[in-house]
Amino acid sequence: VEGTTVKELAEKIEVKPKDIMAALLAKGILATINQPLSEEAMREVAREFGYEVTVRSLEEIINDQQDTLAIETDALDDIEPRAPVVAVMGHVDHGKTSLLDAIRNTRVAAGEAGGITQHIGAYSVEVPDPDNREKLRRIVFLDTPGHEAFTMMRARGAKGADVAVIVVAADDGVMPQTIEAIDHARAAKVPIVVAINKIDKPQANVERVKKELSDIGLICEEWGGDTVMVEISAKHRRNLDTLLEMILLTSDLLDLKAPTKRLASGVVLEARLDKGRGPVASVLVQQGTLKVGDPFIVGLHFGRVRALIDDRGRPLTEAGPSVPVEVLGLEGVPKAGDLFQVVDDAARAQELANYRQSKARMAQLMSSAARGLEDMYQQM
């Protein structure tokens, strides 16, 4: 952030200001202790001390204050590989739900530890690592009904998924929502894996599907292109292991990593008011580790984590990057796609939530006032 001084950076990464000044000097930058650093200089210097700097826009304007930007520093050792998050998209009835159910059931049947399936907007499965069969790796599938999570998150500027699986029924071919889904994935710069589904059907015509996909720029590897296409039957659970392996190989090219030690942040997948438990949100943790007791802000609401529950209904004490988890302890119901942020100062978060609520109420008043005026004009 423009404006972060040598002193502030020194405090963040716990080194002496004079060491930072010396490191800057070695790069030909002469700086005093209160000198604001450029983002570039800050990044370079922090790296030398083993920290990665991320700039994030923390909060909106509180009262009359200007937008406050904040920096986060993560020790490089605290940045670890994370599981890929996959969105399954495609035309209606092409088999998205069947595929998600089949993957989930297959992997659970394959001997994963028990628990009862809970629909929390996403689930994890463990899959053998293509490079080392002994090792299991996690993949997270978004399974929000209607699959709007990906689009919702995109609309709010969050990256919803790392890989998109586009399901195309082999007996129906490329349809309008297939194209829409591909457009979404492309706009989000998310790599695509195509699952050509329903290959068990007598009317299945895989070649035709590949031809139609090539017409819109997705060319399979056998035809000299670089789009991975896997022929599957969700109904008969055929080739699902190959599909999962291809998802892992595709995500490996992305070198997905996330900081694990910082205050958690993530995105809301689903939220609702539960009769017994109050407001409940399913959250996908994207950075840091979420812990029971953490105060947080989510959308317009403040909260403090009372319990964390995973996709098998098991209680957790903490959840790291790429872990979908149900969170209890909210003061209100957020929206799917809202950002979730743990804060170190609960009072300030409460204040920010109040501010956001009054801003939202104001926006609502304005829009109903505008509608009122419109009605008045129409009656004149």
Annotated binding site for GTP: 90-97, 143-147, 197-200
Based on CB atoms, which residue is closest to Mg ion, 144 or 265? Answer: 144
Pairing assessment for the beta strands 132-142 and 122-129 based on DSSP bridges: antiparallel
In the structure encoding, which two tokens stand for residue 242, read together? 């190959």
How far is 141 from 271, CA to CA, in rounded Å?
17
Expressed in angstroms, the distance from the first to the final Cα of the chain is: 53
In the structure encoding, which two tokens stand for residue 136, read together? 């299991």
Calculate the CA 166 to chain-centre distance.
18
Give the x/- contact pattern for Mg ion in 78-117, rule: CB under 5 A: ------------------xx--------------------
Q: Which does 277 bind (CB under 5 to 8 A by kind): Mg ion, ligand GDP, none?
A: none
Residues in the site for ligand GDP, rule: CB under 6 A?
90, 92-98, 197-198, 200-201, 233-235
CB of 94 to ligand GDP, least distance (A): 5
Q: Which does 20 bind (CB under 5 to 8 A by kind): Mg ion, ligand GDP, none?
A: none
CB of 267 to ligand GDP, least distance (A): 22
Number of H helices, E strands in the chain: 9, 19
Q: Which does 113 bind (CB under 5 to 8 A by kind): Mg ion, ligand GDP, none?
A: none
CB of 159 to Mg ion, least distance (A): 23
Phi/psi at 230 (5° precision): -120, 130
Q: Any idea how long the chain is?
A: 380
Q: Which of 201, 316, 319, 309 is nearest to 266 (CA)?
A: 319
Question: Which 348-377 residues touch Mg ion, going by CB under 5 A?
Answer: none
CA atoms within 13 A on the CB side of 275: 0
Q: Residue ranges for the binding site?
A: 90-97, 143-147, 197-200
CB of 346 to ligand GDP, least distance (A): 41
CA–CA distances in Å: residue 351 to residues 173, 341, 347: 52, 14, 6
Q: Which of 60, 56, 52, 59 is nearest to 71 (CA)?
A: 56
Based on CB atoms, which residue is closest to Mg ion, 4 or 144? Answer: 144
Calculate the CA 59 to chain-centre distance.
19
CB of 101 to ligand GDP, least distance (A): 8
Based on CB atoms, which residue is closest to ligand GDP, 90 or 321? Answer: 90
Based on CB atoms, which residue is closest to Mg ion, 97 or 177? Answer: 97
CB of 85 to Mg ion, least distance (A): 19
Give the x/- contact pattern for Mg ion in 43-82, rule: CB under 5 A: ----------------------------------------
Kindly tell me the burial class for residue 307, based on how many C-beta atoms sit within 10 Å of its own C-beta (0-12, 13-18, 19 or more). middle
Based on CB atoms, which residue is closest to Mg ion, 121 or 295? Answer: 121
Query: Cβ neighbours of residue 347 under 8 Å, at least 6 residues apart?
Result: none
Based on CB atoms, which residue is closest to ligand GDP, 200 or 318? Answer: 200
Q: Given the rule CB under 5 A, which residues bind Mg ion?
A: 96-97
